[in-house]
Structure 1
Amino acid sequence: MSPDLYISSGILELYVAGVLSPAEMEEVTAMAAKHDRIREEIQRIEETHLQYAASHAPAGLSRHFFDDILTKIDELPEEVPQPQTKSKAVNKEREKPQPAPKTIKLKDDNSRREGRRSPARFYMVIAASLILFALSALLNLYLYQQWQSTQNDLVALQSENTAISQQYNQVKLEKDKAFSEFAIYGNPDYKRVKLSGLPIASQSEAMIYWNKNTQDVFLQVMNLPQAPAGKQYQLWAIDETDKPVDAGMLASLDNNISPMKKIGSAKAFAITLEPTGGSQNPTMEAMYVMGNI
C-alpha cells in the first residue's frame, strides 16, 4: 500500500490515540520506520492534537472548575507586607521611616488569581486533551471501519466484474464458433469427406471439410477412442501420388470443428495413432479411420 493511501485510511489517528491492537500498532510503527512521509504525518497529528487541546478546552467544564477554585481563593485571607518608599522632594523629617500598615489587599486581583489557577489550568488542559483524544479516536475508528467496508465492497465488485467478463467471453466464443460452423456448413466450396472406422476401431468416425480453392481443412471428430498415455492422433492427407502429407495433430476429441493444416491436393484423408507430437510417416497398423474423396 502506498504511503498516501495508508495515511488517508485514518489508521494513523488511531495509532496516535493508542486504540489499535498490538499487531496493528506494530504494523504502523514498521510503516513509519520505512516511510518518512508516514513518520512526519504521525508527528503532525500529535502536534495538532496538543495545540487543539490547549486552545479549545470545553468551556462549560472549565468554567465550573474555575469558578469553584476562585470562590475558595476569595475566602482565604490574603496578606502581604507593604513595601516602604522614599521621596526626594520631602524634607528630612518626612524621610524618616513611616510605620507601614501590617497588611493590605493585593491591588492586582487578576495576577493573584492567575497564580492560584495555574495548577487547575494544567489539569484542565490534560482533561480536555484526553477528551479530544477520545473523540478523535472514536471518529477515526468509525472512518477506518468505513474504509475497510468500502475496500471489501470494492473487492466484491471486482470479483463480480471478473465473473461477468468470463461469462461474456464464453458466450462470445460460443457465438463465434457457431458462426464459423455455419459458414462452413453453408459454403458449397467445402467438400465433405466422411472418415469411417477401420477394423482396429470399427465404431470410429470423423468428418473432413476441405476447401480446395483456399486449401482450408477442418476436422470434426464424431467418435474416436481416448488416446493412451504418450500417444496422440494425427491427421494425414493422401495426395495424388499416394504420398501421405501431415495435416496436423488432434488437440481434442470433442465434437467441435477444428482447423487443421492447409492441404492443396488430396484424394483421401486418414487418422493414425502416433507418439505424442506426431510422426513424419503414418503408422499404418495404427490407422483408425479413412475416407476417400
Structure 2
Amino acid sequence: MEDVKAYIESGILELYVLGDISPEDKLQVEQMAAQYPDIKAELDDIAQLMERYAGEHAIEPAEQLRQKIMNSLLVNLGDDRNFIKQRKHTDEEEFEDDKIITLPQRNQFYKYAFAACLTLLLISIYGLVNLYSKLQDSNTQIAALQADKTRFANQVNLMDSQLDMYRDTSFKVLKLKGMPKSPGAAMVLAWSPVNKKVMVDVQSIKLPQHDKQHQYQLWALVKGKPMDMGVFDNPTGTDTAGVKEMKNVALADGFAVTLEPTGGSINPSLDHMVVIGQF
C-alpha cells in the first residue's frame, strides 16, 4: 500500500490525464490502474476533477488550440484515425484568449516537512554556535585563573625567600647611595657570605628611569675588581616582587650599579655608575 500511495502522490496520474507523458509511462499507468483499484479510482477522480474544473472555466478555444487538444485526446484513446493536420502559427496570429489551467497542488506534506527540517537545522546551528561561544568564554576564564594562580604562587615563593632572608642572621644589609650625577638614587640589598646569596630589595630601588635599550647591572667589588652579578630593571607600578635574587658571590667588599646596554656588559661603564655601597 505504501508503494501505491507513493505512486499516486508522484503526480504521474495527473500527467497521464493531461496527456503530457511518454508512451512507456502511459502504458505503465494503464497497467497499474488495471492491477490496483485505488489507482484506478484516483485516476477517475482526477479526470472528473479536471473535467469539472475545465467546465467551470471553459472558453471558446482558438482553432489551433482545439486541434492540439483533439490530437492529444486521440493519442490517449489509442485512435488509429488520421490526425487532423495542424496549422502552423504565423507571426501575425496571437493567442491572447488562450488560458492555461493550473491545477491546485494535491499534496503539501513534503513542502511542510522540508520547512520543518530546515527550521530545526537552523535552531540546531544557533544552539551549537551559542554553546561554542560559552565554551570559549569558559576557556578564557580558566586561562585567566591559571595565570592568576601562577602569579600568586610566584609571589608566595618570593615572600618565602624574603622571610628566609630576614630570618637568616648571616645576611648583611647594605644601602647603596647615589653618585654626584644622581644624588637621589638609592637601593638596598642583602648579602650572605655563608650561602653566597645576593638579594635586592625591589621596593627600595630608586634609580633614574632608563630607555628600552639599557638595563641596570649590579657589580660586586671583590678586592677592588668588579664582578658581574646580573642585570635588572626599574620596578613598574604593577611589579609586586618583594626581592630579586642576583648571582652568587662568596667574597665582596661592596656593591655598585651601572647603566649598561640591554643584556649587560663584560666590564662596567664607570661614567654611568649610579649607586655604590661598601661594608
Q: Shorter-chain TM-score: what band? A: 0.5 to 0.7
Given candidates 261, 272, 278, the residue that maps to 1:275 is: 261
The reply on whether 1:112 has 2:94 as its aligned counterpart is no
Q: Is the contact made by 2:178 and 2:186 (CA closer than 8 Å) also made in structure 1?
A: yes
Task: Give aligned pairs, total.
Answer: 189
Q: Residue 225 of structure 1: CA displacement?
A: 0.8
Q: Is the contact made by 1:207 and 1:222 (CA closer than 8 Å) also made in structure 2?
A: yes
Q: Which runs of 5+ in 2 are unaligned?
A: 10-33, 50-104
Separation of aligned partners in 1, 2:173 and 2:232? 18
Q: Which runs of 5+ in 1 are unaligned?
A: 1-50, 58-105
Given candidates 217, 233, 241, the residue that maps to 1:234 is: 217
CA-atom RMSD in angstroms: 3.2
Of 279-288 and 188-197, the range deviating more from structure 2: 279-288
SS at match of 2:195: coil
Distance 1:192 1:157, change over 3 A: same
SS at match of 2:181: helix
Give the TM-score normalised by structure 2. 0.58
Letter of the structure 2 residue corresponding to residue 286 of structure 1: H
Distance 1:238 1:114, change over 3 A: same
Of 171-180 and 247-256, the range deviating more from structure 2: 247-256
What's 1:149 paired with?
Answer: 130
Letter of the structure 2 residue corresponding to residue 112 of structure 1: K
Letter of the structure 2 residue corresponding to residue 243 of structure 1: K
What's 2:93 paired with?
Answer: none
What's 1:42 paired with?
Answer: none
Correspondence list, 1:1-293, <5 A? 54=6, 110=38, 112-116=40-44, 124=106, 127-220=108-201, 221-228=204-211, 230-240=213-223, 242-253=224-235, 256-293=242-279
Q: Is the contact made by 2:214 and 2:262 (CA closer than 8 Å) also made in structure 1?
A: yes
Q: Residue 228 of structure 1: CA displacement?
A: 4.6
Separation of aligned partners in 2, 1:245 and 1:111? 106
Separation of aligned partners in 1, 2:39 and 2:188? 110
Distance 1:274 1:140, change over 3 A: closer
What's 2:79 paired with?
Answer: none
